[in-house]
Amino acid sequence: MNSNEIINKAKLWIKAPFDQATQNEIQELLNSGSKELTDRFYKNLEFGTGGMRGTMGAGTNRINKYTLGKNTQGLSNYLLKTFSGKQPKVAIAYDCRHNSKTFAKSVADVFSANNIIVYLFEDLRATPELSYAVRALQCDAGIVLTASHNPPEYNGYKVYFNDGGQIIPPQDGEIVDEINEVQFEDINFKAREELIEIIGEEIDAKFAEEAVENAASKDTKGRDNLKIVFTSLHGTSITMVPRALELAGFTDVHIVEEQREPNGDFPTVESPNPEEPAALKMATDLADQIGADIVIGTDPDCDRLGIAVRDLDNKLVLLNGNQTFAVLVDALLKKWQEEGRINGKQFVGSTIVSTPMIQKIATSYGVNTKIGLTGFKWIAKMIREAEGKEEFIGGGEESFGFMVGDFVRDKDAVSSTLLACEIATQAKSMGSSVYAELLQLYKKHGFYKEHLISVVKKGVEGANEIQQMMSDMRNSPVTEIHGEKVNFLFDYQTSVSKNLLTGEESEIDLPKSNVLIYQTVEGTRMAARPSGTEPKIKFYFSVHRPLESIGNAKQVEELLDQKIQEIIKEFKL
């Protein structure tokens, strides 16, 4: 899009139907000739792996009342066509971010104006509770206003379908087609308040009970002996995690008070992302002061969790997402096995960029692993397609998300927190620890070590750079990684798996996605994936080697870390 096209597009925003504040904001940018005008209008915000997410402000490439209204009008049109024999119902939740409450009401207004019944949460709530509410209230769709752990200037819009999972093909494409048909002047903002019902405590109570039922055993022995430090990182989890812990019988819970208050500026952290050790520093400092056994922090919308546990030297270490995934899935499988519930008709869900160790663990229990694209909407799809044939035990991905059972169809830090504390309680009662249990898994299945690098490339130029990087890796594949011959290139964009040693090709039976994975003969893996919601490209590395004894764990880990760093240098990242 050239500069004249961008200016003409922007000029549409300085008259009706846009409000005066929006018109003023765009007029200032036009007057100043700001480069920011290009970024605001060179494209429309699109649905990615986590829905639609972006910085707030006026413009087609921003989150605002009108871009959200356009999406909601399009979704309303889709629901009215799809469920033509009845009056559709929608649930709406929102997080702690700036404007989330206002945006949520604006979205509710548009739905109600289109004769759709709306259940709107009275205040901020955890994203997994929205997924739960969609099914509990027999809704046809759900919306949550959130930007997860993105910086404060971001907000977003996630769409769920009637199974409680995020939308997937073909619904997403059909909804986007409807949205594209909508002009801004077509949006109906005239709310029918009688169709908007405010919800809260009743759903909260049911959700907390089911979280405990799914993630914790009936035996509460020892739970009062586990010292827990919890931080909500200024987010929504404060509304549910302490309640669920108390309901499950965990009484020695210490909340990081400085981070208790929901705040869209996230004032005590650079990034409210539990994947980053710095985000949990206040929590780990408190844990060291009081001698806590486990630290748990959740992201602002309470779907991801970071866990810190004590290593063999009694020092707190933050588990990475794959390590947490491995420990949680093994505990669930063990629980199902002890209860005699495994009969060959169960499965766990994982993703193409998560650790291969998950398959090893599941196979040891006689359980199948289904592997999908990145994003929990694909695990929700697995559950839906398996209903009546196979039971879902649990699932997760490397990015600190996990799902316990299928009562929620999205990653859920509430039930995952309960399960992590349950594992820690049982380990402590046996004189062990979560970390020691992880090392036992490494000894049994091999020491798998993963690492993620995110390369940020902002704006139009950045998007072009990312596209070129993917093109180079796709069309001129490397043949060796760290001296190991690459035998497979998995290209999820073309749905082709190619053996680079023999030239043989086979089809990948998954929806198309712009992801590339190199795999060596020895099992080393490197994946590249542009983010669907942020201006970045992610590189995932996975290496492994046997662990003969627990005493060698540090040495083996150092060797694996060194190998990953050498591979990163090879790729000049």
- Would you please indicate which residues are annotated as catalytic (active-site) residues? 148
Q: CB-based contacts of 300: which residues, under 8 Å, 6+ apart?
A: 95, 96, 97, 146, 147, 148, 149, 233, 234, 235, 236, 266, 272
Nearest to 378 by CA among 409, 333, 332, 346: 409
CA distance 404 to 213: 10
**Strand pairing category for 228-231 and 253-255:** parallel
CA distance 235 to 298: 8
CA distance 135 to 154: 28
Tokens of 406: 């299928």
**Strand pairing category for 305-310 and 316-318:** antiparallel
Nearest to 453 by CA among 378, 522, 542, 373: 542
Tokens of 158: 């996630």
Specify whether the CB–CB gap between 446 and 358 falls below 8 A: no
What's phi and psi for 503, nearest 5 deg? 85, -5
Specify whether the CB–CB gap between 567 and 450 falls below 8 A: no
Kindly tell me the burial class for residue 342, based on how many C-beta atoms sit within 10 Å of its own C-beta (0-12, 13-18, 19 or more): middle
Q: How would you write 311-380 as a 3-class SS string?
A: CCCCCEEECCHHHHHHHHHHHHHHHHHHCCCCCCCEEEEEECCCCCHHHHHHHHCCCEEEEECCCHHHHH
Determine the residue type at 267: P
Q: CB-based contacts of 325: which residues, under 8 Å, 6+ apart?
A: 350, 354, 355, 358, 396, 397, 398, 402
CA distance 446 to 56: 45
Cβ count within 10 A of residue 46: 13
